[in-house]
Amino acid sequence: MYAFCSVDLNAIGLYSRPSKRTIQVTMATNPIKELEKKIDELILLCKELNMENGALKAEIAGWQDERKDLIDKNELARSKVEAMIDRLRSME
């Protein structure tokens, strides 16, 4: 299916003669090509965002593991300090 439109060359600055000239422009594939291009761009953006999302999830998992390790080390240090305090109290 073809769509036709009239283009005023004077209005868009492509024709400098004072007489008004119009041409018929066939617009069969141009909008479809533009739509295909935009869809391809969206697909690419989707893929990039999915990859970034996966990387961020992996990073979060790493931070959560590190946090757990630090909490465990903190708890170990607390129990050692409490044990030392108890020994010091028993020495008095």
- pLDDT digits over 41-91, tens only? 999 999 999 999 999 999 999 999 999 999 999 999 999 999 999 999 999
pTM of the model: 0.53
Is a pLDDT exceeding 80 seen at residue 4? no
As a three-state string, the secondary structure of the chain is CCCEEEEECCCCCCCCCCCCCEEEEECCCHHHHHHHHHHHHHHHHHHHHHHHHHHHHHHHHHHHHHHHHHHHHHHHHHHHHHHHHHHHHHHC
Q: Where are the domains of the chain?
A: 4-91
